[in-house]
Amino acid sequence: MRVRVMIAIGILGFTLATSGTAAAQVITMRWTVDGEHRAALVFPPTVPLGHSKHPLVFAFHGHGGNMNSIAQKMDIHTLWKEAIVVYPQGVNRPSAVDPQGNRPGWQVEANQANIGNKDLHFFDAMLATMRQKYLVDDTRIYAAGFSNGAAFSLLLWAERGQTLAAIAECAGRLAPSEQLTLPRPLVAIAGEADPVNPFAFQQQTIETARQADNATGAGQPCGQYCTEYPSTTQTPVKTFIHPGGHLYPSWASANIVKFFILHRQP
C-alpha cells in the first residue's frame, strides 16, 4: 500500500442543515492512497474531555452518495459531540446497480476484482491520520454506513475487526466471501420492503452476525421495530426491522449513537 497524505486540511465554517446546531466546524482532509485521490469530512469533538481520549466514528455513504450528503443525513457529529466523526468520500466503484462503476462507492469484499483492497487501505490511512492528529480512544472506534457503505462497514468488521468496538449497518449485507471471526456488537437496520437489497439477504447477514456474536438466544423487544439479542460474550446484536424500503430512517442515527456509547473494546 502506498499512501501520500496531503493534510491540506481546509478548516471551514461548514453550515449543514442539521438538527441541533446551525453551523459546525469541519476539516476537509485529503490523501493519496494506492494512486487514488481520497477525501473525508472530519468533525472534531465540540465537547472537550480534558486530557481524556475521544471516541472515533467512521460513517460511510451509499453507492452514488457523497460525504456531504451523508454528513447531513446521519448527523452523528451533532448527536455525539464528544466524538471525532469522519465522513469519507468514496470513488467510482462497480456495484450490482452500477456494473460499470460510474458512481462513487466502496469495495464489499477483500481483494475485490479490479479494486484490490484500495478502500481498506484508505480506511487504514484515515485511521493513522486520526491517531496522529487527535487523542483517539483505541477502545472506542466505530464503523457505520448506509447501503453500500453498510456493506463496507461489515467488510471492516470482517477484515479490520481487531480495530473496531462496534458496527452499525443500515440496508446492507455482508458479502458471501467474507467471514466474521471476531465477536463485535452490531446494530442492524433493515426495511422489509427494500427493493435494492432484498430483506432476505439482510436477514441472512443478521443471522451470520448473531452466530459470530454468540447472540443466538431469543430476542427481547426493545421499542418500536427493535429487538435485542443478548450475547454470552457481551457482544449483542440489536435489530430495527421497519416496514419501509431502501432508506436511512430519521431515527436511525440517534439509536446508533446510543448503541455505540454503550460498547467499547474490553
Give per-residue pLDDT as tens, 19-68: 333 356 899 999 999 999 999 999 999 987 777 899 999 999 999 999 99
- Return the pLDDT at 97: 86
Q: Cell 461548514 identifies what position?
A: 14
What pTM was estimated for this model as a whole? 0.93
Task: Between 101 and 162, name the one with better pLDDT.
Answer: 162
The CATH code belonging to domain 3-262 is 3.40.50.1820
Partnered with residue 3 across adjacent β-strands are 33
- Return the pLDDT at 24: 62
Is the backbone of residue 47 left (phi > 0), alpha (psi -120 to 50) or beta?
A: beta
Task: Considering only the C-alpha atoms of the chain, give the largest distance between any 2 of them, rounded to a whole number of Å.
Answer: 50
- Return the pLDDT at 94: 92
Q: Band the pLDDT of 5: cuts 50, 70, 90.
A: low
Rounded Cα distance between 44 and 151, Å, is 25
Measured in whole angstroms, how far is the alpha carbon of residue 195 from the centre of its chain? 22
Q: What is the pLDDT of residues 182-195, one digit of tens each?
A: 999 999 999 999 99
- Return the pLDDT at 50: 74
Partnered with residue 191 across adjacent β-strands are 242
- Return the pLDDT at 22: 36
Partnered with residue 141 across adjacent β-strands are 56
Mean pLDDT of the region 12-17: 38
| Mean pLDDT taken over the chain | 92
Partnered with residue 112 across adjacent β-strands are 116
Rounded Cα distance between 194 and 173, Å, is 12
Mean pLDDT of the region 100-126: 97
Q: Band the pLDDT of 13: cuts 50, 70, 90.
A: very low
Q: Band the pLDDT of 254: cuts 50, 70, 90.
A: very high
Measured in whole angstroms, how far is the alpha carbon of residue 172 from the centre of its chain? 11
Q: What is the pLDDT of residues 75-105, one digit of tens each?
A: 999 999 999 999 999 999 998 889 999 999 9
Q: If you count them, how many residues does the chain have?
A: 266
Q: Band the pLDDT of 4: cuts 50, 70, 90.
A: low
Of 23-32, 215-224, 229-238, the poorest mean pLDDT is in: 23-32
